[in-house]
Structure formats: structure tokens, C-alpha cells
Copies of this chain bind each other. A is one copy, B any other.
């Protein structure tokens, strides 16, 4: 997606987006490095979820993204629910949906789930074609129309529901050493005595030590 910054700003202006939404878009695009359609929709989703929860972005919230595609990034940038601080879980369900909940000392926490509504999306033909990966959609010729339709639609393609999310307490752990690579891992991540990096999750081949 190559779209000039000026063009993007003028599209935002033409749809009378609020200053806070504009600021979210700018920060999310800088983080993600380009204005991916899913990222833009994700910004509307996070903004909607937070407002339904009656929360403010400065509050300590927890989030789930049901897809790896784009949606994790607005949760990270706007809410500081990051992968590394454990306030974001990405669950590989494959749905373009997110949920947001508050911290809780109870077993369950009240949350809001926001998703792309397959009925509502039908009113927006370019979004529909892109979202369903229809061969009729061409990034090159329809990319700008898609962004325009996303800004025009805003929350209008989204639905939301109240949910209860199970609170997962922090687990205790002891350090262990993998006998193959010699590196340290939590003991409960050793499988048959060997770390997953030397076992089922190996993802690289060694090509030389560095002094």
C-alpha cells in the first residue's frame, strides 16, 4: 500500500474524523510502517471497544486480538497492551476481531468484543471485496477507494458484544538448562528434557559462531 501522506490526511479531513482518531491513525501507521486497510479498521475497533467499556486509553487494560493480521498493532499503540508486557494475547482464530477488558481480582473480567459484522459489511462493496479476498479486488486500482470507504464507514461495519474473559494468574516457574544448547529456559518449557528450540520449534540452522 503506497499512499502519499498528504493524500491520506486529506482523506481523513474529508470524513471529519475526530482529532483523537487522527492522532491514533498517525501513530499506528508510523508503527506499522504503512496504512494497511486492516490497521485502519483496527483503529476504529479499538476506539469503539474502549468507549463501550467506558475506559480511557491511559487505563491499564488487557486485550485479545483474534488474528495476527494488523489488529494487534492498534491495541499495542493506542492501549499499550503489548505482546511483551503480557497485556495482549494474540489467539490464532483468524477472525478480524478484538476484545478489551479491565484487570480483575475475580475469576472472570467484564470485557467488550468488537468484530467486523458480515451483514453490515455488505453495504460497503469495496471493503467486502477486499475483506473476503475476492479476486475482483485489485490493490493497485482499488486501494484508494478502499481507504476512502473505510474512513466513511468508521464503526458502521462493526458490531460489539459484552463478554466475560477468564483471568489467567501469573504462573510460578523455575529455571532449567537445556542439555543440547546449554541455554536457560523455564523448566516447564523443556519437553522430554530438551528445549523446544532444539526440539519441535527449531526455526533456524546454525551458520557460525561470532566471537
Residues of chain A touching chain B, judged by Cβ–Cβ distance below 8 Å, are 31-34, 36, 38-39, 42, 52, 64-66, 68-74, 76-77, 80, 82-86, 89-97, 99, 108, 110-113, 115-116, 118, 131-134, 159-166, 173-175, 177, 182-186, 189, 195-197, 201, 203-210
Contacts and interface: CB of A to CB of B under 8 A. Distances in A.
26 contacts: A33-B82, A33-B85, A64-B203, A65-B84, A66-B197, A68-B84, A68-B86, A69-B84, A70-B85, A91-B196, A91-B201, A92-B189, A93-B185, A93-B196, A95-B185, A97-B197, A110-B207, A111-B204, A118-B177, A118-B182, A118-B183, A131-B184, A133-B174, A133-B186, A159-B210, A161-B207
A204 B163 contact: yes
Contact of A83 (B90, B111, B113, B208): B90
Nearest to A166: B203
Nearest to A114: B210
B160 A210 contact: yes
A10 to B, nearest CB: 24
A40 to B, nearest CB: 12
B52 A210 contact: yes
Given A80-B31, A85-B73, A177-B118, A94 B186 contact: yes
Given A72-B82, A94-B185, 6 more contacts: A69-B84, A92-B189, A95-B197, A113-B204, A118-B182, A164-B207
The secondary-structure label for the interface of chain A is: mixed
A112 B210 CA distance: 9
Contacts of A205: 108, 163-164
Contacts of A86: 68-69
A95 B160 CA distance: 37
Contacts of A165: 203-204
B72 A210 contact: no
